[in-house]
Amino acid sequence: MSEKFAKITPIEESTPTPEDVNNQIETEAKKELQVDLKSAEYTDLFKNAEYFIKKKVVDAIQVTEAGLAAGEYENLDVTYDEKSGQYLITTWVMRGEGADRQAAIEDTRPVVPGEWIVTNPTQQEGDRANNYPVPDETFKKRYESTDQPGQFRAKGKARIIKNPTGSPIVIEAPWGGPQNGDEECYFCAACEDETMDSISPDNRYVLSANDFATYEVVEGAAETPEQKTKKIGEALLIAASEETEPQSA
């Protein structure tokens, strides 16, 4: 495995506490590769990746202060952490197939009024729901309403690559704190505009294989800007060579 893709970083051991739902991540992180998706190497990989959009409709609800106080989001994996004085949401992902399929904690982060809790569609019967918070401004950029209340369709695009390390990994998530993924996960970089010619330098994160299954390639956007530039350059070279060819008598 190339060191430019992943670098093993020693992670200090910590004493597990019942209150800290991040313990599972911290424990697993000791066996994972620390990956920097903001590095120049990964930026180059994203620049040459295909464009994707989430193809399935998601459920979403906007968080209110009253709803948090009343415990209305407990079924969406939101709990109150007395130690930090914050409401936290734990994001679960499904990993493995068949008898090996199980839910695993991907990350835990604060959730505040005004944000939206998005729930991805499950892939198999019995799967644990995948819930995660999205800031209001970001949600309005990435999703649009449907004719069904509480259901939204994604409109934001991203460039996505499969984890090239062949190992479980952990990253520093753009929302703060660790986010982990297994060897079958994907790396995602959100596009900053509708032209799809730019990728966010900061909004880069992990998708589980099951979450990636909700995405599809954007038609007509398979070529990256670099590929388009190369094609234009080749066409110009051909045109120039034709102009310089001697005319036949």
- Residue 24: what are its φ and ψ, rounded to 5°? -60, -40
pLDDT at 168: 94
pLDDT at 45: 93
pLDDT mean values, one per 10 residues, the chain (249 residues): 51 53 58 92 92 90 98 97 95 88 92 96 89 94 93 90 94 92 94 74 92 83 52 61 59
Instruction: Name the strand (E) or helix (H) holding 153.
Output: strand 151-154
Instruction: Name the strand (E) or helix (H) holding 210.
Output: helix 209-212
Q: Where are the domains of the chain?
A: 23-243
pTM: 0.68
**DSSP summary character for residue 99:** G
